[in-house]
């Protein structure tokens, strides 16, 4: 019938004469009752139609199982119709669920123009339809012969008296076995939903209760054979688990116990947030004011493994720990490995940030307990030419980096050192490989000390035939120095030498009593640059109250009278 489209829906099949007949018994007068809804486009059909029913063993093509049954002048009211269909010599396939019903329709009745409805309808045996609209009731069947019964406590419900129930399979030993054989990957074996006003809500859609106090009871057990599948899939809302949760282990020893046994670079726990931000992992033990002996996160790993790894975007924190007094924000205990590794790839990013707000707090503490080996407490590395390997900063009058080693070297710098400030020391020297025995000895010299910020300049000069010599100094000399002092030494002569003209415009003049005389000269100046003016050396200063009675040199009393 060109230009017209019919749709049959709301299929209900009731087996009136096949209830609980063993599959091996064939009935010559069997029948089923079909009830459906027929729409012409978007409008329900009203009037009479002619129908042809045919059974097949497949949803498409397949083998016809019995002779077709035709019926004329079937009354359709507001789209609904009901029709008994005789099925002579119905094969055992009916009991296995491999029966499909094809329907042809001619509308109006008597037109002779039939259209095949698609798809074919699956035929399933049902001993009694309790709630089907306009369905025939098998009132003549003894109530005790029915497996499905009407619930005496809920008139709209049914219950099963005894024995296993199998849906989609003939082999089911559990009280309820459901098998969905789907090739499109979108079908559900069991689907449960509840439509309720949003203001009311639903307490429980599905409840599983293993009422066993002993043994390895499982209220819900779900498995999947696909590596890309989901044994459990929860979407939306919140999830609540009261007992311990084991991931990868059937014997969890903590609220959440994750066992990763796949080796390699496999990750035990991974938390990923959307680009909008958020917190990947939060361990809340009550905050800094909580009780003692709490442990927010514990990772125990084997060799060449990572206990905790955080990867974040710009402006994010990989790990944040807020602890109370006497607590530890991050503790890493390793054997022959790395306790904490931080990688900051973004511009202006920071690998590790520690805020210690309590009195006498320690932001970062690293302790290496091994008495042997080239152990390192804190290691910093920067691959940038303008980067910093380790940085210590104090915003007040404290200490940025404090290195302590009573019997060794508190600080060892293999490379150039720049100090943007004043260097305070107890003594100073240089040490180099000995020029004559570089492989077996060192050579050391002490610094020349002065109570002033003194600069020393020297050189040699030869006077002319009149006995004069001019010493020219750099252009910056006069701007850098003040309070000049001179020393002259005549070489290979008993002639006398004198400063004939003092420093002016970065030069001074020497005169000797004999011509062509070699003179060794030295001039010193006190620094007069802005930093020196702002930070003069305080030669004598009283000790602060908290340092009085103590010695900067711990062995002072031993060496004081030597």
- The encoded tokens of residue 200 equal 């009311």
Q: What is the pLDDT along the chain (562 residues), one digit of tens a residue?
A: 444 545 554 343 433 333 323 333 333 446 777 888 888 877 888 899 999 999 888 899 998 888 889 999 999 998 888 888 887 655 554 544 578 889 999 989 999 899 998 888 887 655 433 333 333 333 444 444 445 555 666 666 666 656 677 777 766 777 778 777 665 555 677 777 766 655 565 667 787 877 777 777 777 878 887 778 787 888 877 888 888 888 878 888 877 887 776 655 566 677 666 666 566 666 666 655 555 566 666 666 666 666 667 666 666 666 677 666 666 666 766 666 666 677 766 666 666 777 766 677 777 777 777 788 877 777 777 777 877 878 777 777 778 788 887 777 878 888 888 888 888 888 888 899 999 999 999 999 998 889 999 999 999 999 999 999 999 999 999 999 999 999 999 999 999 999 999 999 999 999 999 999 999 999 999 999 999 999 999 999 999 999 899 988 888 888 888 7
Instruction: Point out the domain boundary residue: 107, 127, 145.
Output: 145
Please tell me the distance from the alpha carbon of residue 499 to that of residue 497, in angstroms, as a whole number. 7
- Phi, then psi, of 530 in degrees rounded to 5: -55, -40
Q: Which two tokens stand for residue 192?
A: 């449960």
Q: Which residue has the tokens 């060449």?
A: 304
Residue 170: burial class (beta carbons within 10 Å; 0-12, 13-18, 19+): exposed
Q: Is residue 544 part of a domain?
A: no
pLDDT reported for residue 159? 66
pLDDT at site 184: 57
For residue 131, the model assigns a pLDDT of 34
Q: Does 34 reside within a domain?
A: yes
In a domain? residue 51: yes
| Overall domain count for the chain | 2
CB-based burial label for 345 (10 Å; 0-12, 13-18, 19+): exposed
Last residue of a domain, one of 145, 175, 203: 145
Give me the pLDDT at residue 339, please: 67
Neighbouring-strand partners of residue 512: 497
pLDDT of residue 287: 56
pLDDT at res. 51 = 93
Q: What is the CATH number of the domain that holds 139?
A: 2.60.40
Q: Which of 519, 414, 418, 503 is nearest to 463 (CA)?
A: 519
Query: 39 lies in a domain?
Result: yes
Please give the Cα distance from 266 to 258 (Å, whole number): 12
Q: Do the domain assignments include residue 290?
A: no
Looking at residue 1, what is its pLDDT? 42
In a domain, 38, yes or no: yes
CB-CB neighbours of 73 under 10 Å: 12
pLDDT, position 267: 66
**What pLDDT score was predicted for residue 5?**
47
What pLDDT score was predicted for residue 227?
Answer: 78
The residue from 101, 130, 145 where one domain ends is 145
Please give the Cα distance from 520 to 491 (Å, whole number).
7
Token pair, residue 104, equals 């042809």
**pLDDT recorded at residue 133:** 35
What is the structure's pLDDT at 122? 80
Domain coverage including residue 479: 454-534
Q: Which DSSP helix (H) or strand (E) runs through 480? A: helix 477-480
Report if residue 413 sits inside a domain.
Answer: no
The answer to the question of residue 508 being in a domain is yes
Beta bridge pairs of residue 245: 256
Q: Supply the DSSP string of 81-149, one letter for each residue.
A: EEEEEEETT--THHHHT--EEEEEEESSTT---EEE-SSPEEP---S--SS-TT----TTS-GGG-SEE
């Amino acid at each position: 019938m060109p230009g017209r489209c019919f749709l049959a829906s709301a299929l209900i099949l009731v087996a009136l004469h096949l209830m609980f007949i063993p599959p091996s018994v064939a009935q010559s007068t069997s029948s089923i009752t079909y009830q459906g809804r027929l729409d012409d486009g978007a409008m329900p059909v009203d009037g009479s139609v002619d129908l042809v029913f045919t059974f097949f063993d497949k949803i498409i093509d397949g083998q016809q199982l019995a002779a077709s049954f035709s019926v004329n002048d079937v009354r359709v009211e507001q789209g609904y119709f009901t029709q008994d269909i005789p099925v002579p010599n119905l094969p055992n396939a009916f009991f296995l669920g491999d029966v499909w019903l094809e329907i042809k329709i001619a509308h109006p009745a008597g037109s002779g123009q039939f259209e095949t409805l698609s798809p074919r309808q699956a035929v399933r045996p049902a001993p009694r339809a309790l709630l089907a609209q306009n369905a025939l009731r098998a009132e003549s069947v003894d109530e005790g012969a029915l497996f499905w019964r009407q619930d005496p406590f809920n008139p709209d419900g049914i219950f099963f008296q005894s024995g296993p129930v199998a849906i989609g399979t003939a082999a089911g030993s559990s009280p309820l076995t459901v098998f969905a054989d789907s090739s499109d990957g979108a079908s559900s074996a069991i689907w449960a939903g509840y439509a309720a006003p949003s203001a009311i809500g639903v307490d429980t859609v599905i409840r599983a209760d293993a009422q066993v106090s002993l043994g390895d009871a499982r209220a819900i057990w779900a498995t999947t054979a696909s590596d890309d599948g989901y044994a459990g899939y929860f979407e939306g809302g919140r999830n609540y688990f009261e007992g311990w949760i084991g991931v990868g282990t059937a014997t969890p020893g903590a609220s959440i116990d994750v066992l990763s046994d796949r080796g390699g670079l496999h990750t035990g726990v991974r938390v990923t947030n959307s680009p909008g931000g958020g917190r990947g992992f939060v361990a809340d033990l009550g905050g800094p004011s909580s009780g003692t002996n709490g442990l927010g996160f514990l990772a125990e790993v084997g060799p060449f493994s990572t206990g905790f790894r955080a990867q974040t975007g710009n402006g994010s924190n990989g790990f944040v720990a807020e602890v109370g007094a006497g607590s530890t924000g991050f503790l890493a205990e390793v054997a022959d490995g790395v306790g904490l590794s931080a990688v900051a790839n973004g511009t202006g990013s920071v690998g590790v940030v520690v805020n210690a707000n309590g009195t006498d707090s320690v932001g970062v503490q690293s302790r290496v307990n091994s008495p042997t080996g080239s152990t390192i407490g804190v290691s910093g590395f920067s691959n940038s030419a303008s980067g910093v390997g380790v940085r210590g900063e104090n915003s007040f009058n404290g200490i940025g980096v404090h290195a302590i080693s009573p019997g060794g070297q508190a600080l060892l710098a293999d490379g150039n050192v720049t100090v943007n400030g004043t260097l305070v020391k107890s003594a100073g020297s240089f040490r180099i490989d000995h020029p004559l025995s570089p492989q077996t000895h060192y050579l050391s010299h002490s610094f020349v000390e002065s109570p002033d910020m003194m600069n020393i300049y020297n050189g040699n000069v030869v006077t002319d035939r009149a006995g004069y010599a001019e010493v020219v100094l750099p252009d910056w000399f006069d701007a850098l120095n003040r309070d000049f002092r001179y020393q002259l030494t005549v070489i290979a002569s008993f002639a006398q030498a004198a400063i004939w003209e003092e420093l002016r415009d970065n030069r001074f003049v020497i005169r000797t009593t004999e011509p062509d005389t070699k003179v060794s000269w030295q001039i010193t100046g006190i620094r007069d640059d802005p930093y020196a003016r702002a930070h003069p050396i305080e030669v004598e200063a009283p000790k602060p109250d908290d340092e009085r009675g103590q010695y900067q040199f711990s062995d002072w009393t031993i060496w004081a009278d030597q």
